[in-house]
Amino acid sequence: MPELPEVETSRRGIEPHLLNKKIKCITIRQHKLRWPIPKNLPQLAINKTVRAVSRRAKYIYLELDNGTIIIHLGMSGSLRICTDKTLPEKHDHVDIQVSNGKILRLRDPRKFGCVLWADNPVSEHKLIKLLGPEPLDDSFTANYLHDKAKKRQCSIKSFIMNSHIVVGVGNIYASETLFRAGINPKRKAGNISLSRFEKLVSAIKLTLNLAIKEGGTTLRDFTGISGQPGYFAQKLLVYGRKGETCTQCGEHIKQFTQQARSTFYCTACQR
Ligand SMILES: [Zn+2]
């Protein structure tokens, strides 16, 4: 599943091709994604200029003067830039063509993604309104997290994966950041000290920034016509490494299930 770093990498990949270009044509081959694509999307967006290509959580925004096209990649979606010389394939559900002839093409085999319209301001849209802060913003601090965690009985792992608390920490990154911060994923969020939250916030920012950097180097070509843009293989410290030795202490990495999701951690390094 595309996580925040892959979505940010996608955003950076498509931005130069779309910015300040006018939308000329929108082709919808499949309306039924996670939510139906609004029938009047072309009517709202055609002949409008893309003023910004931005991101909030895992939503990519094409910001126009009269509103915003919101794109989510769901479980398996990907974006690429092509021209009409590249014929759409089976799972290429939406094309957005701009004035330089380039096409932004959404491929989504499992159809859990979405393409929606939001009137201004996009921050009031129902999918966006209740989202917590961006993990890479300066407003996301240890004090903020510590405050939100007060009296919370849930595990720290489910706490940081809660998008009302902070967006963009998916299952893989939750394991990775808790390992970097030396915090046991089962520990109750409300029992963690401010100084440990400082480590955790640094670990979240570091882990996501490294993954975005990695994405930038491995996912350069958004205009490639062959195959998938493909999500990059990340260098992971604990996730998916059950039974392998910990990079810090040599213990074996353990796996268990929390809220039906796999958690990986080192019992020696994480307390
Ligand atoms: Zn260890």
pLDDT, one tens digit per residue, over 189-214 is 999 999 999 999 999 999 999 888 87
Is there a contact between 266 and 253 (Cβ–Cβ < 8 Å)? Answer: yes
148 catalytic residue (yes or no): no
Q: How far is the CA of 171 from the centre of ligand 1 (A)?
A: 19
For 93, other C-beta atoms within 10 Å of its C-beta total: 23
- Asked if residue 93 is part of any domain, the answer here is yes
SS (H, E, C) 158-179: HHHCCCCCCCCCCHHHHHHHHH
pLDDT of residue 226: 39
- Residue 165 token pair: 């608390």
Residues 46, 106: one domain? Answer: yes
Residues 118, 152: one domain? Answer: no
pLDDT of residue 223: 54
Residues 78, 31: one domain? Answer: yes
- Asked if residue 197 is part of any domain, the answer here is yes
Q: What CATH number has the domain bearing residue 23? A: 3.20.190.10
pLDDT of residue 217: 56
Please give the DSSP secondary-structure letter assigned to residue 200.
H
CA distances from 196 to 41, 165, 183 (A): 46, 17, 8
pLDDT of residue 30: 96
Residue type, 28: I
Q: How far is the CA of 155 from the centre of ligand 1 (A)?
A: 20
213 catalytic residue (yes or no): no
Q: How far is the CA of 113 from the centre of ligand 1 (A)?
A: 37
Percent of the chain with pLDDT over 70: 93
pLDDT of residue 224: 44
- Asked if residue 115 is part of any domain, the answer here is yes
39 catalytic residue (yes or no): no
Q: How far is the CA of 240 from the centre of ligand 1 (A)?
A: 15
Q: How far is the CA of 18 from the centre of ligand 1 (A)?
A: 45
pLDDT tens digits, one per residue of 80-126: 999 999 999 999 999 999 999 999 999 999 999 999 999 999 999 99
Give the Cα separation of 168 and 161 in Å (integer). 8
| Residue 218 dihedral angles phi and psi, to the nearest 5° | -100, -15
- Which of 74-78, 181-185, 228-232 has the weakest average pLDDT? 228-232
- Number of structural domains in the chain: 2
244 catalytic residue (yes or no): no
In this prediction, residues 123-141 reach a mean pLDDT of: 97
Domain that holds residue 110: 4-124
Residues 117, 171: one domain? Answer: no
pLDDT tens digits, one per residue of 143-176: 999 999 999 999 999 999 999 999 999 999 999 9
Q: What is the pTM of this model?
A: 0.91
Q: Which of 55, 56, 58, 196 is catalytic?
A: 58
Residues 105, 217: one domain? Answer: no
pLDDT of residue 236: 87
Report the chain's mean pLDDT, rounded to a whole number: 92
